[in-house]
């Protein structure tokens, strides 16, 4: 029997509804400068449109973000990505070639050809002293054959062995910081314009984040003049979302930076 498909918006709406009733009691304390939550802006695939259209708005608003690069795309404008990192943004691992269907990969092949090789590329061009963070290509969490749990465990072992400290999915409600600290290779994230070019899903997600004192990780891909298909965001909608974040009482910082704070503040040794 095939798996039932549930849209990303439907899934988030259900999760937000279940969480909403206890939001006030659940709100943790401890974000920097008394902020009511945290937000990380993440951009996948190392696309030229991110450099051309997203980065100027980030600079205008004084926001820093995480860019999950693939070597296949990033090498075309490597000097621009290097300048972006020098300006305080995070660059991180999205594999060498962005494979989605991983049933044909052995653990050894995937680790060597996609994860470890990309870490070496990032080390060479962006320094080896950075936190190693990762975004699952296509949001797929399984590697090789077998039952879902076994495929997921296999993927996690690859990341752990390569020193990845935090990994981002593409689904789930705002992260509870204590849960993010406990399970850092399964950070929730939300693609607010995946199914349409509107700000409303992002605003609802951010409202829930602030209400619960959580950590929102937003995901963007193409930042284009117009929304054409799933995964895009228009420049106008992207900029409206960023302006809304800039006006909120939240700490907006790259994913690795926020995770480092979360691990220190809410981790087991805290």
- pLDDT given at position 128: 87
> Is 103 part of a structural domain of the chain?
yes
> Is 15 part of a structural domain of the chain?
no
User: What is the mean pLDDT of each successive set of 10 residues along the chain, which is 270 residues long?
Assistant: 40 43 52 98 98 98 98 96 98 96 93 96 93 95 92 95 96 97 98 95 98 98 93 97 98 98 84
Tell me the residue range of the domain where 63 lies: 31-266
CA distance 35 to 215: 11
> Is 16 part of a structural domain of the chain?
no
- pLDDT given at position 1: 36
In 104-257, DSSP assigns E strands to 133-135, 166-168, 215-220, 223-224, 233-234, 251-252
Count the helix, strand and coil residues of the chain and give each as a percent rounded to the nearest 5: 50, 15, 40
- pLDDT given at position 12: 45
Radius of gyration of the CA atoms of the chain, in A: 18
> Is 11 part of a structural domain of the chain?
no
Which of 34, 23, 36 is CA-nearest to residue 215? 36
> Is 22 part of a structural domain of the chain?
no
> Is 156 part of a structural domain of the chain?
yes
In this prediction the pTM is 0.89
With contact defined as beta carbons under 8 Å apart, do 237 and 194 qualify?
no
Tens digit of each residue's pLDDT (9 = 90 or more) over 107-125: 999 999 999 999 999 999 9
**CATH number for the domain harbouring residue 151:** 3.20.20.370
> Is 2 part of a structural domain of the chain?
no
Sign of CA dihedral 240, 41, 261, 208: positive
- pLDDT given at position 11: 44
- pLDDT given at position 18: 41
If DSSP codes are grouped into helix, strand and coil, which group holds residue 133? strand
> Is 14 part of a structural domain of the chain?
no
The number of domains in the chain is 1
């Amino acid at each position: 029997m095939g798996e039932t498909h549930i849209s990303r918006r439907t899934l988030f709406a259900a999760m937000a509804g279940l969480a909403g009733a206890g939001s006030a009691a659940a709100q943790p304390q401890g974000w920097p400068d008394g902020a009511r939550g945290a937000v990380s802006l993440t951009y996948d695939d190392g696309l030229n449109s991110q450099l051309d259209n997203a980065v100027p708005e980030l600079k205008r608003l004084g926001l820093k973000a995480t860019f999950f690069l693939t070597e296949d795309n990033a090498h075309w404008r490597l000097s621009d990505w290097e300048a972006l990192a020098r300006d305080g943004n995070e660059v991180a691992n999205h594999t060498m070639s962005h494979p989605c269907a991983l049933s044909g990969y052995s653990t050894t092949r995937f680790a060597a050809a996609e994860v470890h090789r990309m870490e070496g590329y990032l080390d060479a061009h962006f320094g080896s002293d950075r936190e190693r963070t990762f975004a699952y290509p296509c949001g797929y969490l399984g590697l090789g054959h077998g039952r879902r749990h076994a495929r997921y465990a296999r993927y996690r072992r690859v990341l752990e062995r390569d020193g990845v400290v935090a990994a981002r999915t593409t689904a789930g409600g705002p992260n509870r910081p204590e849960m993010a600290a406990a399970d850092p290779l399964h950070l929730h994230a939300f693609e607010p314009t995946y199914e349409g070019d509107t700000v409303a899903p992002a605003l609802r997600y951010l409202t829930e984040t602030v209400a619960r004192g959580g950590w929102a990780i937003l995901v963007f891909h193409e930042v284009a003049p117009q929304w054409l298909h799933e995964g895009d965001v228009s420049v106008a909608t992207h900029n409206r979302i960023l302006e809304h974040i800039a006006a909120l009482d939240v700490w907006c910082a790259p994913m690795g930076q926020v995770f480092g704070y979360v691990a220190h503040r809410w981790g087991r040794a805290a």
